[in-house]
Chains A and B, each alone.
Chain A
Amino acid sequence: AQSVAQPEDQVNVAEGNPLTVKCTYSVSGNPYLFWYVQYPNRGLQFLLKYITGDNLVKGSYGFEAEFNKSQTSFHLKKPSALVSDSALYFCAVRVQRSNDYKLSFGAGTTVTVRA
């Protein structure tokens, strides 16, 4: 079984401030973890992923995430948010070395960056 929790429905920050979007996961085994962003009426855009290796993963548009196995977390961060970062963010997980390639998504977090 696998699942993802995004505890915050909404995150509001001022432009230029740090942005954090929280994600915790549950899997039976080692995880593959992903962050996607979705703009209105658009599909999902890939931001970054953790497969193996360094716990700090750097992705697109200045985003990064840190894999924390002990806390089963994979929080998304950006040091200085932009108004254009306002969107819906999804965390997703699947189990490594599984023949089941299905992703489980969190409920999503709406980020609003005010000017």
Chain B
Amino acid sequence: GAVVSQHPSWVICKSGTSVKIECRSLDFQATTMFWYRQFPKQSLMLMATSNEGSKATYEQGVEKDKFLINHASLTLSTLTVTSAHPEDSSFYICSANPAGYHNEQFFGPGTRLTVL
């Protein structure tokens, strides 16, 4: 139980295009999902907290117009990297808290984004 999936697992795009990454909780409902960014051999940097049915809360320094987050249902959150540039290339990981159970986050497998 408590499986989180991400799609796609990797994506390569041209500079200036937008890319959407999906995060799904497969066997539980998630009122809260988190989006992280990770550079090679570095820690996870929290980008934003996504709450179902409301606007995401972004961490300081993260451009909300650049990284659009939508949490339209209890099992799906999406991160859209708009007008991507090479510096946006990174490993993006989502996690989810099961509804009513906030003791643990369950992590997705990550999405490798490469912007050419």
Contacts and interface: CB of A to CB of B under 8 A. Distances in A.
B106 A46 contact: yes
A32 B103 contact: yes
B46 interface: yes
A20 to B, nearest CB: 20
Interface residues of B, number: 24
A34 B108 contact: no
Nearest to B32: A101
Interface of B: 4, 6, 32, 34, 41-44, 46, 49, 91, 93, 95, 97, 102-110, 112
Given A41-B110, A43-B4, A45-B107, 18 more contacts: A36-B107, A41-B91, A43-B6, A43-B107, A43-B108, A43-B110, A44-B44, A44-B107, A101-B102, A102-B34, A102-B46, A102-B49, A103-B46, A103-B105, A105-B43, A106-B43, A107-B42, A110-B41
Interface of A: 32, 34, 36, 41-46, 49, 51, 88, 90, 101-103, 105-108, 110
